[in-house]
Amino acid sequence: MLLLAGLIFLLWRGWRVFAALKAPTALTNTPTAMLACRFCGVHIPKSEAIHSKEGIYCCQPHRITMEKVSRENRE
């Protein structure tokens, strides 16, 4: 009887380990690099950032404003 209980326990434990290995991990989503807007400092995902010669921006109005200010400072 004790041998049967031990066998059942080993089968149950082995099944749990196997199920844990098959289960998807919580780390399926990889972290995304975040970049700060040069105008307002808001952090946005790299894939959504607007890149220009002057820097990185969160939206077109911030890019346009900073390029205009930069142009005025050069004159």
pTM for the predicted model, two decimal places: 0.57
Task: List, for residues 15-57, the tens digit of each pLDDT value.
Answer: 777 776 766 666 667 889 999 999 999 999 999 999 998 899 9
- For the chain, give every domain's residue range: 31-75
Could you tell me the pLDDT band of residue 70, with boundaries at 50, 70 and 90?
Answer: confident
Spatial separation of the C-alpha atoms in residues 27 and 29, rounded to whole Å:
5
H-helix or E-strand containing 12?
A: helix 2-22
